[in-house]
Homo-oligomer: A and B are copies of this chain.
Amino acid sequence: MSHNTFGHLFRVTTWGESHGPALGCVVDGCPPGIALTAEMIQRFLDKRRPGSGKFVTQRQEPDAVRILSGVFEDERSNGQRTTGTPISLMIENTDQRSKDYSEIAQAFRPGHADYAYFAKYGVRDYRGGGRSSARETAARVAAGAIARLVIPGVTVRAALTQIGPHAINRENWDWGQVERNPYWSPDAAIVPVWEEHLEKIRKAGSSTGAIVEVEAIGVPAGWGAPLYGKLDAELAAALMSINAAKGVEIGEGFASAALTGEDNADAMRLGPDGQPAFLSNHAGGILGGISTGQPVVARVAFKPTSSILIPRQTLNEAGQEVDLRTKGRHDPCVGIRGVPVVEAMTACVLADAFLRHRGQTGGGAFTLSAQA
């Protein structure tokens, strides 16, 4: 995780501002021979796309991705395949109404990156937040689509578990519901509650936070590179790097602080198939920074976006105290669009962990004697 690149063997470098001509990424280190078309990436971008619901920003862009390099097709290749060379992806920005942002050219939106970028760089592209815009996450989602192909045995899926103060009832959890409502809720019962809350927030010109939970099923035991490339450390970095993320937890997470050792540790027995089986998953599928074979589970807290219509006290570049309302088009709940982004980052971390594990050890997992 270094400036605008993340990953070690599966490396993603993103670029682009909200209101520049385009944004994109370079995915380097992808294994060769993987079938890859723009459509396979596009369907994940469509999931993230602004304008797909009433409570996400009304900016309308097709977000059409182009693959500029790294793939090849001829009569022998059985469709378009990755070549092992860097895959460059580009999404043109087609709906940049820069005039919307004229007011924030000089004043810093409270709670936004505006002031921090100014203090660091002295110059900033204030249009739509420039580089700090959530629009950059489109590039992450595109990279994540490729990452999924690198680990075909792994399913990465996320859901929204809380909007504002309203958490789902985990008893109702049904993955089948997640794509049936515009909020990626696994609990159908909470949907009307969230709708009402969001409507109130929207009318008030306010915004609200949210929590996203992600799980990765099918991760075999052995991925992760202790001690500083621990799978959970890499996940924490990747998820915390998402715009508006303020917290990351693995498995039982913060709740584990209140537990005892015997309640928290996941006991082991042999499963019906003679394989090691855990009797619970408080660990979230990771022990000592290495995957255990259980589902990898993480949660990310998103703060409410700072671009709101309610006037706020702030400063401008001239050092004057001013009040600012952020007009523009903004998500009342940025966490909703965070769902596909959390999935994407998780997939990228896992793809990288897989390649590194394969590099250092050959890629398998050692089995117990009785399994051999």
Contact = CB atoms under 8 A, between A and B. Distances in A.
Size category of the binding interface on chain A: 35 or more
Contacts of A302: 256-257
Contacts of A268: 108, 110, 115, 313-315
A247 B237 contact: no
Most buried by B among A210, A239, A314, A318: A314
A167 to B, nearest CB: 9
In the complex, the count of this chain's copies comes to 4
Interface in A40-93: 66, 68-70, 72, 74, 77, 81-88, 90
A263 B305 CA distance: 11
B261 A315 contact: no
Interface stretch (A170-178, A187-195, A200-208): A200-208
Nearest to A359: B359
A246 B237 contact: no
A329 interface: no
A14 B306 contact: no
Top 10 closest pairs, chain A to chain B, by CB: A113-B288, A319-B370, A111-B265, A359-B359, A247-B249, A207-B261, A319-B368, A116-B290, A119-B221, A237-B237
Contacts of A9: 9, 356, 359-360
Contact of A123 (B22, B83, B108): B83
Nearest to A162: B257
A110 B360 contact: no
Given A116-B291, A253-B301, 13 more contacts: A13-B86, A15-B28, A16-B88, A17-B70, A17-B72, A20-B68, A31-B361, A72-B125, A120-B361, A164-B259, A201-B260, A262-B310, A267-B312
11 contacts: A2-B225, A2-B228, A4-B26, A17-B85, A85-B131, A108-B268, A116-B289, A236-B240, A246-B284, A269-B321, A358-B358
A5 interface: yes
Contact of A86 (B15, B22, B247, B316): B15
